[in-house]
Amino acid sequence: MLPTDPADTPAHPERGASRHVLVVDDSRLQRRILVKLLRKWGYSVDEAASGEEALARARAQPPDFVMSDWMMPGMDGLQFCRAFREAGGPSYGYFILLTSKSEADDIARGLDAGADDFLTKPVSANELRARVAAGERILNMQRELEDKNRVILDTLSKLQDAYDVIDRDLLQAKTIQESLVPDFDRRFDGGRVSLLLKPCGHIGGDLVGMFSPGENRVAFYSIDVSGHGITSAMMTARIGSYLSNTHLDHNIAVDRRVGRFYALYPPAAVARALNERLLADVGIAEYFTMVYAIADLRRGAVRLVQAGHPHPLLIRADGRTEFIGQGGMPIGLIPGAQYEQYDVDLAPGDRLLLYSDGFTEARLKSGEMLGEEGLLRMVAETLPASGGPMDAAAKSAGPEFMDDLYWRLTAEMEDGAGLADDVSATLFEFTGAPGPDADPRREGPDDDS
C-alpha cells in the first residue's frame, strides 16, 4: 500500500465542512495553493488580495479561520489583524499569520496584534494541516463554551422571570401583611400606643398591634414568629386574625358581654388560648414568642404576660429604667403550658417598651450585639434630659421616640450589613386618667382576673 499524502488527509472531515476560511495574500499563487489544500480538506474558502478587501469580506461572512500574509501593500497583516479583532463578530475567528519572520520580537508583535498562530513561508502542507487541526481544537472548545454560556444565559433569564413573579407576589404579600397593622400610632384617653415594624425582607415574622374594647381599656402586644420568610409571614397573618383590631367578635382576647360591651380576658388566659390554638393546627411546626399586655387607662395599671419574648422595658418619667418579667415559655411548644402574669403600676409620663430580639441581637460595627445594656443606652440617648423643656419631651414621645430609637440602631450597625432579623417594638405611654365622661360600664377584665 502506498503511503498517504498528508495533503490528501482532511484535518477534521467531520468539522471541516462546517468551517469557513478567509485566505488573505497579495500573491495570487500563494492564495491558490492555500485555497486548493483547504478545499481538499473540506473547508469552505474565500479569498482576498488585500487587508481592506478582507475586512469587507469578513463583515459579509464572518470566518472561522483567517490566514493572512504579514507583508502586504497598504494595510499589512498586523494592521488587518488589529482591525479584524476590533470589528468583532458573532463568534471567535482563529487568526494565523503567514510570514517569513521568525525573530522573537516579531512573534511578540504578532501576538500583541491579536494573532493566534504563525506559519512560516513557504507553507508546508503538513504544517498547515497541523496548525489548522490545532485551531480546530481551540474553536471547538470556544464553541462549546459559547453553547454553555447560552444555556447559562437562558437559564438565568428563566430564573429572572421566576424571581420577578416571586418578587411581585412578595410585594403583594407585604401589602397584605402591612394591613394587619392599620394604625401605627393611636391616642386614647389616658394613654398612647405607638408601633414600629421593620421586616428584614419584603415580609417578616414579627407582628405588633393594639386593640381597645372601650374607653378605659387597651391591649397591645409584640410577637416574633420563629424562622423567617413566607412561612413566618403566613403565621403572623393567622395570629393577626386571632387578635383582630377590627373584628372584636373574632378576637380570642376579647370577651363579649351584654350588647355591644366587651371586656378583655386576662393576659395569661390569652397566652393559654393561643398556645392551645396553635398546637391544634396540624402540620404547623412554628412557634412564637410574645409579650401581651392590657392597661387600665384610668389608673395606669398594666397586666402582662411574657412568653419567651425579650424582657419588657419599664421607663419611668424621671428616666429610671427597669427590665421586667421572667422569660416564660414560647407559644406553641408544649401542650398545657402555664403562663405567669405580671402587674405594673404606671404614673403619668411612664412608658412600657415591648421589643423583638431584632433590637438586642443586632450586630454593631464593633462586631458585638447591642444587648440589653446597649438598648438602655439608646433609650437614654433618645429621651430628653431630666427636667428638660416640654417641647423636648413631646419630640421624644410616640412615633418620634420609636423612629429615633430605630435610627440610632441602624446608625450603629455594621456598615452595609442591613437588617439580619426583623425589628419591631410597641410603646405604651401612660398620660394620666381619662376625662370624666368615660363610660364605667366598659371596664376590662378586673372581675375575670
The candidate with the shortest Cα–Cα distance to 292, out of 324, 315, 316, 266, is 266
Strand ranges of the sheet holding 94-99, from the earlier edge strand across to the other edge: 44-48, 20-24, 65-69, 94-99, 117-120
**% of residues, the chain, pLDDT over 90:** 54
Q: Answer yes or no: is pLDDT of 413 > 90.
A: no
Bridge partners (DSSP) listed for residue 163: none
Average pLDDT, the chain: 85
Return the amino acid letter for 202: H
The predicted pLDDT at position 334 comes to: 92
In angstroms, the CA 38 to CA 35 distance is 5
User: CA geometry: angle at 231 spanning 226 and 405, to 5°?
Assistant: 55
Q: Answer yes or no: is pLDDT of 146 > 70.
A: yes
Confidence class for position 174, pLDDT limits 50, 70, 90: low
Give per-residue pLDDT as tens, 102-133.
677 888 888 899 999 988 888 889 999 999 99
CATH code matching the domain that covers 179-448, chosen among 3.60.9.10, 3.30.1330.10, 1.10.10.10, 3.60.40.10: 3.60.40.10
Q: Are 78 and 70 in contact (CB under 8 A)?
A: yes
CATH code matching the domain that covers 6-148, chosen among 3.40.50.300, 3.40.50.2300, 3.60.15.10, 3.90.1170.30: 3.40.50.2300
* Region of residue 447 (left: phi > 0; alpha: psi -120 to 50; beta: else): alpha
In angstroms, the CA 327 to CA 399 distance is 27
Q: Answer yes or no: is pLDDT of 214 > 80.
A: yes
Mean pLDDT of 352-359: 95
The predicted pLDDT at position 169 comes to: 67
The predicted pLDDT at position 162 comes to: 84
In angstroms, the CA 307 to CA 166 distance is 34
Give per-residue pLDDT as tens, 390-412.
444 455 788 999 999 999 999 98
Mean pLDDT of 200-228: 87
Mean pLDDT of 208-221: 92
Return the amino acid letter for 381: E
Strand ranges of the sheet holding 206-214, from the earlier edge strand across to the other edge: 206-214, 217-225, 288-296, 301-307, 341-345
Mean pLDDT of 90-102: 86
For the chain, domain boundaries: 6-148, 179-448
Length of the chain equals 449
Q: Answer yes or no: is pLDDT of 374 > 60.
A: yes
Residue whose entry in the numeric block shows the C-alpha cell 394604625 = 183
Give per-residue pLDDT as tens, 287-324.
999 999 999 999 999 999 999 999 999 999 998 999 99
Q: Are 211 and 251 in contact (CB under 8 A)?
A: yes
Q: Answer yes or no: is pLDDT of 444 > 50.
A: no
440 vs 283, residue with greater confidence? 283
The predicted pLDDT at position 448 comes to: 47
What 3 state SS string does the chain have? CCCCCHHHCCCCHHHHCCCEEEEECCCHHHHHHHHHHHHHCCCEEEEECCHHHHHHHHHHCCCCEEEEECCCCCCCHHHHHHHHHHHCCCCCCEEEEEECCCCHHHHHHHHHHCCCEEEECCCCHHHHHHHHHHHHHHHHHHHHHHHHHHHHHHHHHHHHHHHHHHHHHHHHHHHHHHCCCCCCEEEECCEEEEEEEECCCCCCCEEEEEEEEECCEEEEEEEEECCCHHHHHHHHHHHHHHCCCCCHHHCCCEEECCCCCEEECCHHHHHHHHHHHHHHCCCCCCCEEEEEEEEECCCCEEEEEEEECCCCEEECCCCCEEECCCCCCCECCCCCCCCCEEEEECCCCCEEEEECHHHHCCEECCCCECHHHHHHHHHHHHCCCCCCCHHHHHHCCHHHHHHHHHHHHHHHECCCCCCCCCEEEEEEEECCCCCCCCCCCCCCCHHHC
Q: Answer yes or no: is pLDDT of 252 > 60.
A: yes
Torsion angle of C-alpha atoms 368, 374, 378, 381, degrees rounded to 10: -110
Mean pLDDT of 84-89: 89
pTM given for the model: 0.64
Written as nine digits, the cell of 374 is 446597649
Q: Answer yes or no: is pLDDT of 227 > 60.
A: yes
